[in-house]
Amino acid sequence: MDKNARICIIGGGPAGLSAGMYLEKKGYDNYTILERNDRVGGKCWSPTYNGRRYEMGAIMGVPSYYAVHDVEEFCGITHDGPKLNRNYKNAAGKVIEPFEPKKNPLKIPRLLKMKKQLKVFGELLETKYKGYDINGHRGVAEGRYDGFAVTPGREPVSGTNPNLKDLCLPFSEFCKKNGVELVQDIWIGPYTSFGYGYFDEIPAAYVLKYLDFQTTMNFVKVNLWTWKEGTQWIWEQLNDHLKNPARLNQTIEKVERRDGKVFVTVNGQVEEYDKIIVTAPLHIPGKRADGQKGMDEYFDVRDDEKELFSKIDYERYDVLAVETRPEDHPEISYYVFDNMVKERLGHLMVYYRRWKDSVDQVITTYSLRKHKNMREVPYEDCKKMVLDDLKTMRNPASNVVNEWSVYYFPHVFSEDYAAGWYDKVEAMQDKYDTFYAGEVMSFGDMDETAEYSRELVERFF
């Protein structure tokens, strides 16, 4: 592609800013990033409370976040935040240690069985499901893999493996098929509690591309990265180091693609580009209170785009930042496994204490209120449930200082995944001078979205 091509990038989150960085590294300087909000970072949002930043979105990373490390190197920064740890409570608020045999003598047989299944699972992923952890979903439904390895070198790899078709199954069915049902006890903590849905509804491909074996073991061992100024700071730093920082408060009214050009009407003005990369939502079912729209609502969307994007759903995942009285402040972050099941939809799944050295800070709470086969819990009902749960946990909130219900984890379900949804969308890349990136093309965490932008640039630019 002509290095002088005028490239529009929609979205100033990890995917959009990373696309700018990787384009810049390849010599493309004529790019423009348009962000509708007054800040960059997307779901990495780190507001300030009493002079310290806390997390409303992404919290942490792990050493296998290679794309995030690319950003660190590009900006000359590093992961310098507080060391995290956690404990566990049951739904009644009692502290438990679910993985400690000595504290759970009646569960020793189950724990031993889980340990054996974990070893088997690791071996299966490396052999039977070779290629499972490649970034993105290209070829999975056809029994092949094609992308970059999840290694520090991230070398390109490709191959055929018919077993990969099993990744189209919901994760619970995938585990059952392989006789490793108990590994769900391990994967559920960093998956469902982080808002990515329930194992009986979400294709295994999403679970395992985000939580590949090495990433999951890093979570288990609490081998985590954090950033003193929050995850948003990573993307603020990247924005500051780009030749063309994101333009904020940009309202895109219309996008028209004709005659080999892309015409973007933004803040009332028409701008002309040669190519456009969409890292913002492709489709949002229904209307959102915050006014956010899917690409198919402001583009001159084509029939194939409309049909495919209409299959996308997303999670309703809510975050509260609350104050407590000093005597009620939790001594550590807590996971509540009892509430990570669909029968407890809307309840508190995890609450997070970021700074160990002060109780003069907020704690953040996380809850899911949607399952594809159940009635969606209304936002206000969910909020009340969470505040009631904090009382049950003996850490009652004295005040809510911030709340966020964000468009979260766009995905398709097993039937559409197995029918080749991703291969159909990938076949449309550049068809209308348009490239599709962002969360739905990989996964809804900051590293996977950034890594997909890297792959997109490598493939097409």
236-278 per-position pLDDT tens digit = 999 999 999 999 999 999 999 999 999 999 999 999 999 999 9
pLDDT for the residue 289: 87
Q: Domain 99-220 belongs to what architecture?
A: Orthogonal Bundle (1.10)
Nearest one of 403, 346, 343, 337 to 369, comparing CA atoms = 346
Assess contact for 296 and 282: CB atoms under 8 A: yes
| Topology given in CATH for the domain delimited by 315-410 | Alpha-Beta Plaits (3.30.70)
Tokens of 44: 């990495």
pLDDT for the residue 105: 85
Confidence of residue 102 (pLDDT cuts 50, 70, 90): confident
Assess contact for 9 and 233: CB atoms under 8 A: no
pLDDT for the residue 1: 87
| Topology given in CATH for the domain delimited by 7-76+229-312+412-460 | FAD/NAD(P)-binding domain (3.50.50)
* DSSP 8-state code for residue 340: S
Question: Cβ contacts of residue 305 below 8 Å, gap of 6+?
Answer: 282, 295, 296, 299, 428, 432
Is 456 a residue whose pLDDT tops 90? yes
The percent of residues above 70 in pLDDT, for the chain, comes to: 100
pLDDT for the residue 100: 86
Q: What is the mean pLDDT of residues 270-289?
A: 96
Q: What's the pTM value of the predicted model, to 2 decimals?
A: 0.96
Long-range contacts, 381-389 (Cβ 8 Å, 24+): 381/346, 382/318, 382/346, 383/318, 383/320, 385/346, 385/347, 385/348, 386/318, 386/320, 386/346, 386/347, 386/348, 387/320, 387/322, 389/336, 389/339, 389/347, 389/348
Torsion 52-379-281-428 (CA) sign: positive
Nearest one of 444, 404, 87, 9 to 245, comparing CA atoms = 9
Confidence of residue 404 (pLDDT cuts 50, 70, 90): very high
Nearest one of 53, 104, 102 to 82, comparing CA atoms = 53
Residue 417, helix vs strand vs coil: helix
Is 197 a residue whose pLDDT tops 90? yes
Question: Cβ contacts of residue 312 below 8 Å, gap of 6+?
Answer: 281, 282, 283, 285, 294, 410, 411, 412, 440
Residue type, 354: R
Q: What is the pLDDT of residues 159-195, one digit of tens each?
A: 999 999 999 999 999 999 999 999 999 999 999 999 9
Cα–Cα distance for residue pair 347/368, rounded to 1 Å: 7
Q: What is the pLDDT of residues 362-380, one digit of tens each?
A: 999 999 999 999 999 999 9
Structural domain spans, the chain: 7-76+229-312+412-460, 99-220, 315-410
Mean of all residue pLDDT scores within the chain: 96
